[in-house]
Structure 1
């Protein structure tokens, strides 16, 4: 079976199930709600409509911060679909007939990577629409610039698409390395929702720790995009983050390392 046929088979397996569109709906709702809430609070605060006496957010930087909500809080969804793309096959034993039809297991994994790129782009479009739409609406409503006339905004949106694709590939690597679906999903959620956020917050208070935490996957993803509500909330400075291209290379590095380890350690083992 050629790589094209392997990718076609993986595509059929993914899109014939409901998990991809269920996660897509949750992604859209979650990101849209977060973007709406932040868009209202930050836009109103920037214009003084809330009447607060605290520091007001920089109106010029609001579009990028709000639009990047799709990746800042929604990156876990492409990560999960990438993980499920592999672990679901181990759980339901569908890899057995796949490997019988395609004895070259590396080709099967490459087929999943190809499908991962496609689903990553699809999730990126959904996530970006869910974050940009509500945020832009609040910016317009409060008379603030939406940033659509600036090339930096469109560059940020383009990098968000790349980030979504890389997160799916990271998920495929996790799934290839950790066969147990429950263990892989729990591990992903614990790391992304607890361990890394706590580490990154601690990095803003502990001297020298940020030199390490900026290389974590989520921090690298935020650096690739170029903006994040997380960085704004923790007060992280530009000097404490990677350049966008370096963040992309770090995130790509995680994907490559996990895929290689998964292929060498787990992918070649017999299916129980």
Structure 2
């Protein structure tokens, strides 16, 4: 517990965590508002007239902003390598498993914080606009509640994945740029290729697709005609990615020299 408190303090004493959180909230909330407004346009392909469709405005964070908790998970590990303070941490606590475990708990906690805030902002923006437009928000319906819970869990797992990636790469600039390129360019193209080549929806085998599926379907899913019935496989797949990256990160963190 002492090591966990130490890791949390390392994050909390910088501006990075709340600047990233603010950026995620604004980005997610803006997309949620845009989704609702776009659905009101004539000939819009978006129709938010049921609980199963309105969720795409509420869980938009998992579709467009999962890179934020992922990047913060990376920062939890790489900050000490960048500042050359990792040696001091390991001198104070020689148990590398304890240090790495505390970093995974911190990354998961940050992911949970980011997911709750971003989801709340999306719900506030989306439901608020729907109310102004005189449309039902369906906030108490089972599909919406299930989707919101799925979004929170999936975004939390992205923070955990980020810790594993940070431990593997160590170089903060390379790691952050790498996750940006992979999540914003490489995987979206890969998912489009998979959807184009396959007669059934198997995009949930990719990390971003698994997150979308875990949330019960997102705006990306709706626009590409992907079914929203793979929530459990999405959870399992994203959880498997988190376990694999955390295990690989633990191997690297405990095996190699600190600097």
TM-score by length of 2: 0.93
The 3 A distance-change label for structure 1 pair 56 and 116 is closer
Deviations 1:203-261 (A, max 9, x none): 222236953x32111000111111211111122234xx6x2222112111111111111
Q: CA deviation at 1:97?
A: 0.8
Provide the aligned length of Structure 1 versus Structure 2.
258
Matched, 1:110 2:106: no
Q: 1:47 is matched with which residue?
A: none
For residues 55 and 188 of structure 1, what CA distance do their matches in structure 2 show? Answer: 31
For residues 149 and 194 of structure 1, what CA distance do their matches in structure 2 show? Answer: 35
The 3 A distance-change label for structure 1 pair 209 and 200 is farther
Deviations 1:130-150 (A, max 9, x none): 211111122222222211121
Q: 1:7 is matched with which residue?
A: 4
For residues 9 and 85 of structure 2, what CA distance do their matches in structure 1 show? Answer: 13
Q: Check conservation: 2:163, 2:246, Cα contact below 8 A.
A: yes
Deviations 1:2-36 (A, max 9, x none): xx011011011011111000100100111111111
Equivalent residue in structure 2 for 1:145, among 129, 136, 140: 136
Q: Check conservation: 1:177, 1:267, Cα contact below 8 A.
A: no
Equivalent residue in structure 2 for 1:261, among 248, 252, 256: 248
Q: Check conservation: 2:146, 2:216, Cα contact below 8 A.
A: no
TM-score by length of 1: 0.89
Indicate the larger mover: 255-264 or 14-23.
255-264
Q: CA RMSD in A?
A: 1.7
Indicate the larger mover: 5-14 or 256-265.
256-265
Matched, 1:88 2:85: no
Matched, 1:195 2:195: no
The 3 A distance-change label for structure 1 pair 28 and 56 is closer
The 3 A distance-change label for structure 1 pair 246 and 237 is closer
Matched, 1:176 2:148: no
For residues 165 and 250 of structure 1, what CA distance do their matches in structure 2 show? Answer: 14
* Structure 1 residue runs without a partner (length 5+): 45-49
Matched, 1:244 2:231: yes
For residues 131 and 85 of structure 1, what CA distance do their matches in structure 2 show? Answer: 26
Indicate the larger mover: 251-260 or 139-148.
139-148
Q: 1:221 is matched with which residue?
A: 211
Matched, 1:160 2:157: no
Q: Check conservation: 1:70, 1:130, Cα contact below 8 A.
A: no
For residues 243 and 143 of structure 2, what CA distance do their matches in structure 1 show? Answer: 28
Deviations 1:163-201 (A, max 9, x none): 121000000010011111111111101110001101111
Question: Does the residue aligned with 1:271 lie in a helix, a strand or coil?
Answer: coil
Q: CA deviation at 1:267?
A: 4.0
For residues 31 and 133 of structure 2, what CA distance do their matches in structure 1 show? Answer: 18
